[in-house]
Amino acid sequence: MRSDAELLAASGHDARAFRELYERYAQAIHGFFHRRTGDHEAALDLTAETFAQAWESRGRFADQHEGSVGPWLFGIARNLLLKAIRDRRMAVEASTRLQVRADRSAVEPEQSWLDGMDADLEVALTALPATQRAAVKLRVLQDQTYERIGAMLDCSPRAARIRVSRGLASLRTLLRPTRSH
């Protein structure tokens, strides 16, 4: 199985590679947006835009996570969410100043979409077994190597990698969107 970074590198000449990458992350990215917006359609639109931006900027990707593009994709997603809220705020302010009634979209970005963004992750992390939680935090939040994680947790680098992998798989399950309608 090819790493995320290998798929992204191959995507320039192999559209199936980008599709495989999309299939690996689309549900998690959509879940992130759905939890923030509470709206399935808005989450779909933002997910599509995330992958469109990933496609356009794939040549600038720098592998900093041993082949994983997850942190990079979630960085794009977070920036899109912030931009949607900022753009909406600017449009409302401009319309008010100009005394013009702006057309309203079906779903308008709201500041509340950001509420609890970090808390969701903290709650999910606390649900993990202690060994997985520690390994995930060291790997994802502190960018430690598996060798270093193994040394810090008194296990082999392979065991550290397994703990991180299992922890991330559990987080994906815990952070799935809930159906609001």
* Rounded Cα gap, residues 123 and 79, in angstroms: 22
| pLDDT tens per residue, range 57-108 | 777 777 666 777 878 888 888 888 888 777 665 555 555 556 655 554 555 5
Average pLDDT of the residues of the chain: 77
Percentage of the chain modeled with pLDDT above 70: 73
On whether residue 152 sits in a domain, the answer given is: yes
State the pLDDT at residue 181. 40
pLDDT greater than 80 at residue 135 = yes
> 153 is in which domain, residue-wise?
116-181
State the pLDDT at residue 179. 46
On whether residue 138 sits in a domain, the answer given is: yes
- Stretch 114-136: mean pLDDT: 75
On whether residue 156 sits in a domain, the answer given is: yes
For the ranges 41-50, 91-100, 123-132, which has the lowest average pLDDT?
91-100
Q: What is the 3-state secondary structure (H, E, C) of 49-68?
A: HHHHHHHHCHHHCCCCCCCC
Name the domain count of the chain: 1
What CATH number did the domain enclosing 169 receive?
1.10.10.10
